[in-house]
């Protein structure tokens, strides 16, 4: 399966200039024809142009449309994702330990539910899989580097406590987790992000996505949220997940975003992630698109000044 993503999707609005360019082209061509009526010797004009008045206009129009299309796709950061089979994954489990994870819409609370289902996930993977653990709130913390020691990983998950540092820095959590994964091309690399909130501090998520993609790291996100939401500590405020942002992270890194409203749905989310047998590998096309667009630009310049040269 092939997927296409754009890093700067807003630039795709430039594609709307193509129909305007086509309309303007034919308007100017019609205007030029009216002016050509004053040219009395049509036979001479035909011999000079080789009878290619219409064809040269259409050819140049096609070249120009292709130039605009290619350059627009290039600046939009077009990337093609191609699924490739992989033998096994290594994982980093990144657990949100901000204060909102004390909300009790999950039993007994969100942080406990997250840890319990994460430990069940650890037990379910094959023995050759390595797992690391990161906790994050305002800043990420490496709780355990990659290891195949299941008991050690589960003990580490058990010890995660609510952080005293405020905020939620999803961006840094992704970058820290990606850095922990082994640079082994024969093993796929995946981050499992467990969070109930949204980015409130740290760098832009777009930079974290770009970094994960450069490392060929897949990021899947499990969003902990019930329909009612959950208040925490003495606050009456309800914490909510940023579904749009988490979906973008997953899609643009080849992972999955799954919203879970209870522990059973969280278990199902982990099972969905572990069932992946293919790795989505990115193939950025910006350089190729830009190069072909510039070549066509030189081609158009050459045609205008040689074969399709305008009569003086």
Kindly list the distances between the CA atom of residue 39 and the CA atoms of 71, 185, 204, in Å, as whole numbers in the listed order. 38, 68, 62
For residue 263, the 8-state DSSP code is: H
- Rounded Cα distance, 276 and 86, in Å: 9
> What is the model's pLDDT at position 116?
96
**Beta-sheet strand order (sheet of 89-96):** 140-147, 131-136, 89-96, 188-195, 217-224, 257-260
Listed in sequence order, the residues at least 6 apart from 15 whose beta carbon sits closer than 8 Å to its beta carbon are: 68, 69, 72
Q: The tokens of 205 are what? A: 């998520």
- Per residue in 266-298, pLDDT tens? 999 999 988 876 666 677 888 999 999 999 999
For residue 309, the 8-state DSSP code is: P
Whether the model pTM is above 0.75: no
Q: Is CATH 3.40.50.410 the right assignment for the domain spanning 85-282?
A: yes
b (16+ CB within 10 A) / e for 89-119 = bbbbbbbbbbbbbbbebbeebbbbbbbbbbb
pLDDT in tens, the chain (312 residues): 567 878 788 899 999 999 998 888 888 777 666 555 554 455 555 555 554 444 557 888 888 899 999 999 999 988 887 776 665 789 999 999 988 888 888 888 899 999 999 999 999 988 889 999 999 998 999 999 999 999 999 999 999 999 888 889 999 999 999 999 866 656 788 999 999 878 888 899 999 998 998 888 999 999 998 766 555 554 555 567 889 999 999 988 888 999 998 999 999 999 998 887 666 667 788 899 999 999 999 988 887 777 666 544
Assess whether the previous peptide bond of 108 is cis (omega < 30° from 0): yes
- Per residue in 138-158, pLDDT tens? 899 999 999 999 999 999 999
Strand pairing class (89-96; 2-6): unpaired
Kindly list the distances between the CA atom of residue 179 and the CA atoms of 75, 132, 196, 215, 216, in Å, as whole numbers in the listed order. 28, 11, 23, 8, 11
Domain limits, the chain? 2-77+286-305, 85-282
144 contacts 133 by C-beta, under 8 angstroms? yes
> What is the model's pLDDT at position 265?
93
């Amino acid at each position: 399966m092939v997927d296409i993503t754009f890093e700067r999707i807003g630039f795709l609005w430039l594609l709307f200039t193509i129909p305007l360019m086509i309309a303007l082209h034919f308007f100017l061509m019609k205007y030029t024809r009216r002016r050509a009526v004053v040219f009395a010797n049509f036979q001479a004009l035909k011999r000079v142009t080789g009878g290619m008045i219409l064809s040269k206009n259409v050819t140049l129009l096609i070249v120009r449309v292709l130039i605009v299309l290619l350059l627009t796709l290039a600046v939009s950061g077009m990337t093609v994702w191609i699924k490739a089979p992989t033998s096994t994954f290594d994982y980093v489990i990144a657990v949100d330990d901000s204060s909102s994870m004390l909300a009790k819409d999950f039993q007994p609370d969100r942080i406990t539910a997250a840890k319990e289902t994460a430990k069940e996930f650890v037990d379910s993977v094959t023995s050759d899989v390595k797992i690391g653990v990161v906790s994050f709130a305002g800043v990420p913390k490496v709780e355990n580097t990659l290891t195949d020691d299941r008991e050690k990983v589960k003990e580490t998950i058990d010890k995660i406590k609510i952080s005293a540092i405020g905020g939620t820095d999803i961006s840094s959590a992704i970058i820290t987790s990606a850095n922990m994964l082994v640079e082994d091309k024969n093993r796929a690399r995946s981050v499992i992000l467990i969070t109930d909130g949204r980015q409130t501090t740290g760098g832009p998520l777009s930079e974290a996505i770009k970094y994960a993609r450069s490392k060929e790291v897949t990021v899947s996100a499990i969003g902990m949220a019930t329909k009612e939401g959950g208040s925490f500590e003495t606050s009456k405020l309800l914490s909510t997940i940023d579904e749009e942002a988490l979906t973008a992270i997953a899609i643009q890194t080849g992972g999955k975003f799954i919203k879970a409203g209870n522990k059973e749905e969280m278990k199902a989310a982990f099972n969905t992630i572990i069932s992946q047998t293919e790795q989505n590998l990115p193939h950025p096309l910006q350089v190729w698109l830009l190069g072909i667009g510039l070549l066509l630009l030189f081609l158009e310049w050459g045609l205008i000044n040689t074969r399709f040269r305008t009569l003086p």
